[in-house]
Chain A
Amino acid sequence: MRDHRRSRRPAALLVATALAFGTVACGAGSGSAGSDDPNTLEVWTRSNPDPAATYERVFAAFTGKTGIKIDYQPVINFDQQLQSRASTKDLPDVMINDTALMGSYQSQGLLKPIDPASIRGGDEITEKTWASTVGIDGKHYGIPYSRQAQTLMIRKDWLGKLGFKAPTTWQEMLSVAKAFATKDPDGDGKADTYGMVVPGSAQNGYAAWWGASFLWQGGAEIIAPDGNDTYRPAMASTAAVHTVTWMKDNLFCGDNGVTQPGALTAVTSTATNFQDGNAGMYLTGPYNIATFDQTLGKDKYEVIPAPAGPAGGDVLADGENIYFGARTGKTAQERALAAFLISPEGQRLAMTGENQPVVRIPVNSTLNAAKVHGDARWSVVQRAYEDASEQFPNAPDFAPIKQDTADALNAIFTYCGGDVRSQLKELDETLAGDLKDQDLLK
């Protein structure tokens, strides 16, 4: 028995070694053959199947025009997938994703810098829009592709029934929300309607994404420039304390029914009360217009500018940029694709068709959103973007800042007995730590 066992060991070692070599050989041999073809670009977007169909059409038109093939991958959990691709040092050639992620990608070295003059048609994008793709070192790291600003979607029929006008201030919005919750606007005799929809979970930073517009309107900032490319945390300011206190007292800890049940664990995909027809307002992005037209009906709701707070009516603006993956070696083809995507033809294709549009407000200044979409409601969105919007700062890696802000807001809205001032002060200290990690604190 003893002999037997001893003789097993070398055999096991042999097999294990053979396996190890086999693996190495496999790894070396099976490189990604498709992405090595210089005439094929691997393109990623963060899209569900419906908007992905729109992208398919756009890319087909590009291939028809230039002969450059597109290996298109709509990815839903984009950042998770991108992290695993980054670890293999083989990035997609072109990525289209949120503006707010630029600083994060740049700080990890995932992006090629871009000279705006090298992109044909780049002069048709306004200075203001180009300015939103400048990184921390002053170079551009993205090409603007689509822009949007949040607007308030509100039930027109409910307003009419209860005799309200569209709200223009926070106070009016609150009265309307309470009426929607208590005066049975759907007329079924049951108290089953709610004032507004809130995706208030901290997951993926939703609470901060949704709450940002309120912060701007209350005169608060999350972080503020502090000169010399540095920033300081700004969530302990008087304006921030007032704004967050107002939100907590009136939207979350006040009368029941102003926000939908389960708001504090809801993300955008589970906050469906507006399209289900049991909540009356939703401050959100215009990409939802196509969905709401289908599920709720175009005649039931209208798109209006967000009600103004004490400091104005600014809303969160965001959108998508085109990013070039670092070290892909296909710069000429990538530039050709970017030039097509921002051209009037490329933008128009992405704004029309049966599926969800992937360009909301065109970055190409020769186009008019309402005209191309054939829908006057888009001019409300375009005006909000041009005149009354603010973006998250694009240069810093904003991901940890957004996440920490969302965690804090979610906790403040959950524990109604807490002290907002001290909770925000704690957030301010956390944000200072985030900025310090990035060497951005003065």
Chain B
Amino acid sequence: MTATVTTPVARRLPRKKTVVPWLFLAPGLLLALVFKFWPMAKGIWLSFFDVRPFLGDQWIGLDNYTRVLTDHRFQDAIGHTLVLGLGQSLGAILLGFVLALLLEGQARSLKIIRTAVFLPAVTATAVVGELWRLMYYPTSDGLLNSGLHLLGLGPVQFLDNPNLALYSTMAMGIWIWAPYNMVIILAGLAGVDRSLYEAAAMDGVSLWQRLRYVTLPAIRPALGIVLTLAAIRGLRVFTEVYVLTGGGPAGSTEVWMTRAYTLGFTRNDIGGASAASVVLLCVTLLLTVTVNYFRKRGDAR
């Protein structure tokens, strides 16, 4: 713009500029408002009531929260949720990293394998659950047990042994989420400066040193994203458990969300289920903020 432009026009311009982006955002915001923020607000509101839509809701203050937090089955579920959430997230990140290292490159065959490896991430979890139920089938007819049978082992009760069921669920969770992490880490790996590898090779570093001092620092941003996503979804694990074990046997795979679901939809205690969900929301929020804080602090260093 030239210097001859008068001041009022210059003042009006930014205002127009600020409205337009919001208009473009409007459709998305509207959807988010109707389908996300409004139900969320309603859920928080309901958590303070004894919910009885046709008899009139009753305000009971924090009763739902005390009931949920003192219920011994919710307390058991906390332990299972932490083990499953942590194990599944870290396992999926590790496996995703290994897969990304193995499958990085431009060759056509690698592209095909990458697509094949990514399939679990786009398959409906219900289908994956049915698949793994078959693989875990507790006789030598099951895929895994037939393998063990060849080695003279088993059969292992993957899902019916209460000491093992949680870890069997974890293995399926890792299988589902690792490819997703792999894609993000692959994108990070593509941005690593090749000359760094060449320089490292000339210095004669070992494979481990190359990973530790070249690759890992270079894909920090990608790892940050993967960690944030893990923090968000790790604790709200539900579908994997619901389709594979339904929380059983003997409640050994019951996690926070399956318990909330039972409370809401089998026992018709919507208020209690809302309170449980709000507790989880707060914990997840806290966890996400913490992860982000450490990520930013790391970036600043």
Comparing A19-27, A140-148, A217-225, A232-240, the segment that makes contact with chain B is: A19-27
Residue of A nearest to B133 (CB): A270
Interface centre among A262, A270, A411 (most CB of B within 10 A): A262
28 CB-based A-B contacts, threshold 8 Å: A7-B15, A11-B19, A14-B19, A15-B19, A19-B26, A22-B30, A23-B30, A23-B34, A83-B264, A89-B54, A108-B54, A108-B55, A109-B52, A109-B55, A192-B139, A202-B247, A202-B248, A203-B246, A261-B157, A262-B133, A262-B137, A263-B160, A264-B248, A397-B268, A410-B249, A411-B251, A414-B160, A414-B252
**When the two chains form their complex, are residues B250 and A108 in contact, meaning their CB atoms are under 8 A apart?**
no
A65 at the interface (CB under 8 A from B): no
| B211 CB, nearest partner CB in chain A, Å | 40
Interface hit among A117-125, A386-394, A399-407: A399-407
Complex: A7 Cα to B14 Cα, angstroms: 8
Say whether A192 contacts B141, CB under 8 Å.
yes
Instruction: Say if the beta carbon of B235 comes within 8 Å of chain A.
Output: no
Given the known inter-chain contacts A22-B30, A86-B54, please indicate yes or no for A262 contacting B138, CB distance below 8 A: yes
- Residues of A in contact, count (CB < 8 Å): 48
Shortest B223–chain A CB gap in Å is: 32
User: Is A16 an interface residue, CB under 8 A from the partner?
Assistant: yes
Are B53 and A86 in touch, CB under 8 angstroms?
Answer: yes
> A86-B54, A87-B53, A203-B247 are contacts. A261–B137 as well, Cβ < 8 Å?
yes
Contact B246 A89 (CB under 8 A): no
Contacts of A192 in B (CB 8 A): 139, 141
What residues on A are CB-neighbors of B296 within 8 Å?
none
* B212: Cβ under 8 A from any A Cβ: no
| B52, B248, B265, B267, most chain A CB atoms within 10 A | B248
Does more than half of chain A's interface fall in helix, strand or loop, or is it mixed?
helix
User: What chain A residues lie within 8 Å of B23 (beta carbons)?
Assistant: 15
- Give 6 new A-B contacts, CB below 8 A, not counting A20-B33, A264-B249, A414-B162: A18-B26, A19-B30, A22-B30, A202-B250, A270-B133, A410-B250
* A333-372 vs B, Cβ < 8 Å mask (1 yes, 0 no): 0000000000000000000000000000000000000000
CB of A183 within 8 A of chain B? no
A332 lies within 8 A of chain B by Cβ:
no
Q: How far is the CB of B219 from chain A (nearest CB, A)?
A: 33
On whether the beta carbons of B248 and A203 are closer than 8 Å, the reply is: yes
A400 to B269, CA, bound (A): 10
Is B29 at the interface (CB under 8 A from chain A)?
A: yes
- CB-based contact A109/B54 at 8 Å: yes
Once A327-B54, A410-B249 are accepted as A-B contacts, the answer to whether A11 and B266 lie under 8 Å apart by CB is no
Q: Nearest Cβ in chain A — how far from B275, in angstroms?
A: 16
The one of A23, A108, A202, A403 in contact with B53, judged by C-beta atoms closer than 8 angstroms, is: A108
Name the A residues within 8 Å of B25 (CB-CB). Answer: 15
B247 adjacent to A23 (CB under 8 Å): no
- A19 CB contacts on chain B under 8 angstroms: 26, 29-30, 33
- Shortest B106–chain A CB gap in Å is 43
Q: Does A104 contact B (CB under 8 A)?
A: yes
Contact A265 B30, beta carbon cutoff 8 Å: no
- Which residues on the A side are within 8 Å of B141 (C-beta)? 192
Q: State whether A15 touches B139 (Cβ < 8 A).
A: no
A83's partner among B33, B262, B265 (CB-CB below 8 A) is B265
B250 touches A7 (CB 8 A): no
Interface residues of B in 66-114 (CB under 8 A from A): none
Contacts of A407 in B (CB 8 A): 251
* Given A15-B29, A23-B38, A104-B268, also A261-B162 (CB < 8 A): no
B162 touches A415 (CB 8 A): yes
Chain A 1-49 interface residues, beta-carbon cutoff 8 Å to B = 3-4, 7-8, 11-12, 14-16, 18-20, 22-23
A204 CB–B CB distance under 8 Å: yes
- In the docked arrangement, what's the CA distance between A12 and B33, Å? 14
| Cβ contacts B34-48/A at 8 Å (1 or 0 each) | 100010000000000
- Which residue of chain B is the closest to A270 with respect to CB atoms? B133
Residues of A within 8 A of B250 (CB): 202, 264, 410-411, 414-415
Q: Is A228 an interface residue when CB atoms closer than 8 A count as contact? A: no
Q: Is residue B245 contacting chain A, with contact meaning CB distance below 8 A? A: yes
Is B22 close to A, CB under 8 A? Answer: yes
When distances are taken between beta carbons in the complex, the residues of chain B under 8 Å from A177 are none
CB <8 Å contact, B18 and A23 = no
Given the known inter-chain contacts A203-B246, A415-B250, please indicate yes or no for A262 contacting B54, CB distance below 8 A.
no
> Residues of A contacting B252 with CB < 8 Å?
414
The answer to whether A261 and B160 touch across the interface, beta carbons within 8 angstroms, is: yes
When chains A and B are docked, how far (Å) is the Cα of A265 from the Cα of B161? 10
Contact present for A414 and B14 (CB under 8 Å): no
B residues less than 8 Å from A203 (CB atoms): 246-248
Which chain A residue has the least Cβ–Cβ distance from B23? A15
Chain A residues closer than 8 Å to B270, beta-carbon distance:
83, 87
Q: How far is the CA of A11 from the CA of B16 in the complex (A)?
A: 10
Contact A4 B159 (CB under 8 A): no
Q: How far is the CA of A327 from the CA of B53 in the complex (A)?
A: 12
Q: Smallest distance from the beta carbon of B154 to chain A beta carbons, Å?
A: 12
A79 beta carbon closer than 8 Å to chain B: yes
CB-defined contacts of B157 to chain A, threshold 8 Å: 261
The answer to whether B26 and A202 touch across the interface, beta carbons within 8 angstroms, is no
The verdict on A201 contacting chain B, using a C-beta distance below 8 Å, is: yes
Which residue in chain A gives the minimum CB-CB distance to B273? A83
Asked if B15 and A202 sit within 8 Å, CB to CB, the answer is no
Q: What 10 A-B pairs are tightest by C-beta distance, nearest first? A: A203-B246, A109-B54, A411-B250, A414-B250, A109-B55, A261-B138, A414-B249, A15-B22, A264-B249, A86-B53
With a CB–CB cut-off of 8 A, which chain B residues contact A7?
Answer: 14-15, 18
CB-defined contacts of A261 to chain B, threshold 8 Å: 137-139, 157, 160
Measured CB to CB, the closest approach of chain A to B241, in angstroms, equals 11
Q: A195-226, CB under 8 A of B: which get 1 and which 0?
A: 00000011111000000000000000000000
CA distance A252 to B11 in the complex (A): 80
